[in-house]
Amino acid sequence: MIVSRVMTKNPVYTHTETSVSEARCLMDKEKISHLPVLDKNSHLAGIATKKDMLKAGPSSATSLDVYEISYLLSKLTIDKVMTKTVITTVENEVIEEAARTIVDNNISCLPVMRGKLLVGIVTVKDLFSAFITAFGVRHTGVRVSFVMLEKPGQIAKLSSAIADKGGNIVSFVTQEGDYLYERGGTMKVTGMNIDEVKAVFDRAQAEILDIR
């Protein structure tokens, strides 16, 4: 799966001269937590988050009243509080690389660029949605986690055996095993009951770690 399949297209954005008050209202209205900021040439200049908005507000120890605070925030522009060094991605990047970039840089979103044009934004929530899809969470079926020998043809034999019993694999994710000679996997199967799935995996000499 690639970024363009999971990103929010044509995201809500603002401009550098927008006041913090206006930006905060826009984020509340649109129910978003990340706001790309464009310069006068419509190029990405930064990104503002709810956290940036909180930092822009006065501390709890301030002696200012609510009217004074509102006035100051109306004069403070978003370019003074936004993150200016923005890590981005592109439409045809794979989602696992986008996820790695987010985790490695301890950020919560990636603006998606087409050259200098902002075309989307991908967030942690978008990646969780992709995760849900990859594991077939919304399908009713038998979920089985297992390990089997790491050698050619093992998965093909397993999938053929499931098909022969009238089963359908709606999701399949693999991961490294504890040893070099094995590979782990998690599979969601429909059209079979739990005992039938157990029997297929036993015949395939796959060790079941969890089945439900």
User: According to the model, what pLDDT value does residue 113 have?
Assistant: 97
What domains lie within the chain, and their CATH numbers? 3-123 (3.10.580.10), 135-211 (3.30.70.260)
Which residue has better confidence, 50 or 92?
Answer: 92
Considering just the CA atoms, what is the radius of gyration of the chain in Å? 24
Mean pLDDT of the chain: 90
Write out pLDDT tens, residues 141-154: 999 999 998 888 88
pLDDT at residue 43 greater than cutoff 80? yes
Q: What is the spatial distance between Cα 73 and Cα 105, in angstroms, rounded to a whole number? A: 29
Tokens of 111: 């603006």
Write out pLDDT tens, residues 60-104: 445 555 556 566 666 789 999 999 999 999 999 999 999 999 999
Query: What is the chain's percent helix, strand, coil content, to nearest 5?
Result: 35, 30, 35
SS3 string of 93-162?
A: CEHHHHHHHHHHCCCCEEEEEECCEEEEEEEHHHHHHHHHHHCCCCCCCEEEEEEEECCCCHHHHHHHHH
Which residue has better confidence, 36 or 182?
Answer: 36
User: According to the model, what pLDDT value does residue 65 have?
Assistant: 55
- Segment 185-209 shows an average pLDDT of 95
User: According to the model, what pLDDT value does residue 66 have?
Assistant: 57
Considering the chain, what percentage of its residues have pLDDT values greater than 90?
71
- Segment 52-60 shows an average pLDDT of 65
User: According to the model, what pLDDT value does residue 54 have?
Assistant: 76
